[in-house]
Amino acid sequence: MRSFDHSFEILHAALDAARAAGAAEADAVFESTDQNISRFANSNLHQNMSEISAELTLRVIVDDAMGVASTTVFDSDEIARTAALAREAARHSDPLQNFSGLYRGHETLPDVHTFDEATAAIAPADKARALRAMFDRGRASSVEFAGAYGTGASSIAVANTHGVRRYCTLTSSDATVIAIGANGSGYATGVDRRNLDIVALGDEATFKATLCAGINEEIEPGPYDVILEPPATAEVADWMNLITLSGSAYDDGSSFFVDNVGKQVLGTNFTLADDALDPAFLPFPFDMEGLPKRRVALIERGVIRTPAIDKSYADRLGFAPTATCWTLGGTEHGSAFHLAIDGGDTTREELIRSTKRGIWVTRFNYVNGLLEPKTALMTGTTRDGTFLIRDGEVVARLPNLRWTQSIVEAFSRIEGLTRERRRVATWYNHVGGTIAPVMKIGGWNFG
């Protein structure tokens, strides 16, 4: 993790090199990360890896065309070469449509807490001791654990030729735990700015692995009421981020947002926002173009509001920027890295009791979200804890099930949402994730 002064020394050198290369405008991101990951299987810690890395990304605007280049070497010669590469990329790019220039605002950033000293200082040996405690508890229930437990500290600095300067440090802790028993498996996951309670995650996974042990049933294909845990919902929300929410998906016409902005498309109890300000989530103050973060409703009570969009595509498509640029010049042109689904007024137990005949799903696996983006038609399987509900009670374990479902239709048939929401990490996103309630949906298609 690099200091404020060191970060901006590198950024100023990059912007100077961009000007020398003939750029009319330029912006740059310098990100450095210290991270450690502990992987385990068969209730044994088998790999511990630490990494210190840093990367500079420089974007230049020349004749209204954009070019981007990155480097992990920061001497003056390499920075000059990176600027020349970005300049050459701009020379071969088409002019940006309706582009009004890079961000020039200097608004005050939101005051959010992003860094936890104890998490930044945690040693691999401390993590190993916590994992050992989890392994010991698992043996008492005849389960073994597999998964990964990561912690990290990062600094992110942003600057442009209009004097915008942003800097933030952040910590993160995330873990995935799979409990494997003789009769099935269970799953638990979490992410936080502070260090997670890995033993509690192990207990949660153990509960799912041992529930209804030895009681197994099969079901006929067809529609069933479904209780989705947050990891399952987060999986389809991640796919929506790719096929629906981005500026590029809107621009190429594949998103179901097209021609539907301002219209009621999903259920009135479904709200999806990009929310980096909620202190209960994973706060962060700005995006990689330097825009201050704010809560942005993408879908509000079922009404389509806006795609997640960067500055260049906001100009191109006539939307307001949503402060969701996470890759300078990235092909997605906006991505919601703090996906937040609003909760409701019930509990998971009440949702189960209200279900006559349904399926309780812990998570999804092998999801393909590209079947029909216009309806968010997806297919996948269940994994690590799929249960049959009959007359309001969990009565049996089910095998992993294939499903094919339009998420537009599913999120129009939400019958209940819990007050409690859980945070779920995303493999490509270390600044945020997804926060979601448990939800009950009518008529999810299995088979």
Digit-by-digit pLDDT tens for the chain (447 residues) are 999 999 999 999 999 999 999 999 999 999 999 999 999 999 999 999 999 999 999 999 999 999 999 999 999 999 999 999 999 999 999 999 999 999 999 999 999 999 999 999 999 999 999 999 999 999 999 999 999 999 999 999 999 999 999 999 999 999 999 999 999 999 999 999 999 999 999 999 999 999 999 999 999 999 999 999 999 999 999 999 999 999 999 999 999 999 999 999 999 999 999 999 999 999 999 999 999 999 999 999 999 999 999 999 999 999 999 999 999 989 999 999 999 999 999 999 999 999 999 999 999 999 999 999 999 999 999 999 999 999 999 999 999 999 999 999 999 999 999 999 999 999 899 899 999 999 999 999 999
The closest alpha carbon to 323, from 81, 22, 156, 105, belongs to 105
Domain boundary among 172, 188, 210: 210
Task: Judge if 203 and 262 occupy the same domain.
Answer: no
Residue 75 included in any domain: yes
Q: Are residues 206 and 239 located together in one domain of the fold? A: no
**Predicted pLDDT of residue 247:** 97
What pLDDT is attached to residue 154? Answer: 98
- 179 in any annotated domain: yes
205 and 237 share a domain? no
- For the question of whether the overall pTM of this predicted structure is more than 0.85, the answer is yes
Total structural domains in the chain? 2
Q: Please indicate, yes or no, whether residues 86 and 165 belong to a single structural domain of this protein.
A: yes
Q: Are residues 339 and 409 in the same domain?
A: yes
Domain-embedded: residue 132: yes
Q: What is the pLDDT of residue 223?
A: 98
Residue 330 belongs to what domain range?
A: 222-446
Distance CA 367, CA 243 (A): 13
66 plus 29 within the same structural domain: yes
- Are 113 and 235 part of one and the same domain? no
307 and 249 Cβ atoms separated by less than 8 Å? yes
Q: Are residues 18 and 154 in the same domain?
A: yes
- Identify the pLDDT of residue 116: 98
Q: What is the pLDDT, as a whole number, of residue 315?
A: 97
Together in a domain, 160 and 235: no
From residue 157, how far is each of 11, 30, 167, 317, 347 by CA, in Å? Answer: 8, 5, 4, 28, 41
Residue 240 lies in a domain: yes
Say yes or no: 188 and 226 in one domain.
no
Contacts of 66 (CB under 8 A, 6+ apart): 59, 60, 89, 90, 93, 96, 312, 329
Instruction: Please report the pLDDT score of residue 9 as a whole number.
Output: 98
In-domain check, residue 56: yes
Question: Is 216 inside a domain boundary?
Answer: no
The answer to whether residue 111 is domain-embedded is: yes
CATH number (domain holding residue 45): 3.30.2290.10
Q: In this structure, are 117 and 76 located in the same domain?
A: yes
* DSSP one-letter code for 356: S
Does 217 reside within a domain? no
Q: Which of 210, 245, 261 is the last residue of a domain?
A: 210
Decide which of 183, 210, 237 is a domain's last residue. Answer: 210
Domain match, 173 and 286 both: no
Q: Report yes or no: 232 and 361 within 8 Å, Cβ to Cβ.
A: yes
